Amino acid sequence: MNTAFKDSLGKPTLKVGAFLVEFVSPGIGEICKVAGCDFATLDLEHTGFTFETAKSVAKYMHAADLPLIVRIPSREYHDISRALDVGADGVMLPMVSSIEEARHIVKSAKYFPEGMRGVAVGLAQDRFRSSPLPEAFRNNNRRTILALQIENTAGVEAADAIAALEGVDILWVGHWDLSVSLGIPGQLDHPEFKRAIERVNMACRKHGKSMARVANSVEESI
């Protein structure tokens, strides 16, 4: 399984992805690939997409050799493990506000000895290949990408501790919700919003993690 994208996380290079909220035809993987994407994210939080959708899109992306991150609607164990079981390379978790929540996420997503994820091997997450449990656990733990969304002031306060946690790969700023939490809805150029973004960015730099957000323009992405 290709881990090149995950291995590149935490390094000072720009990665570009597609955020899928509507269009998920079988050609979407190749479309994203030729458009220059490094990864794709499928949104199950604010759409009608289901885990069945995620399973299909994971196959489309894998055919194009692109990793798929699935944003799930909660931080519950069963949503985390199921998204990974149907073939997602990683999960994005909304509204992460504390180190305790971050630890729960890591334990839910990782197999023994790094976590408590329930055993279901040889299925979509293993590309339907069987292997001894220690090997399957090791491969899945290595390739699983965890993107935790910082979307409120509590998350910003906890950003340093969350970024320091082993197993966390990306701190993804939810810009609209964060601006609301700061009391400045939609004001992404407000100094307070910029200070919050910089605080998350500094935490990521300090601990060798990647920071991400949805960019509304080319200027926002660089």
Quote the CA–CA distance of 120 and 180 in Å, as a whole number. 39
Burial class (CB in 10 A: 0-12, 13-18, 19+), 123: middle
**69: β partners:** 41, 90
Q: Is-contact 67 87, C-beta < 8 A?
A: no
Quote the CA–CA distance of 119 and 192 in Å, as a whole number. 44
Quote the CA–CA distance of 139 and 84 in Å, as a whole number. 13
For residues 55, 59, 46 and 25, what is the CA-based torsion angle, rounded to 10 degrees?
-120
- Residues with a catalytic annotation lie at 46
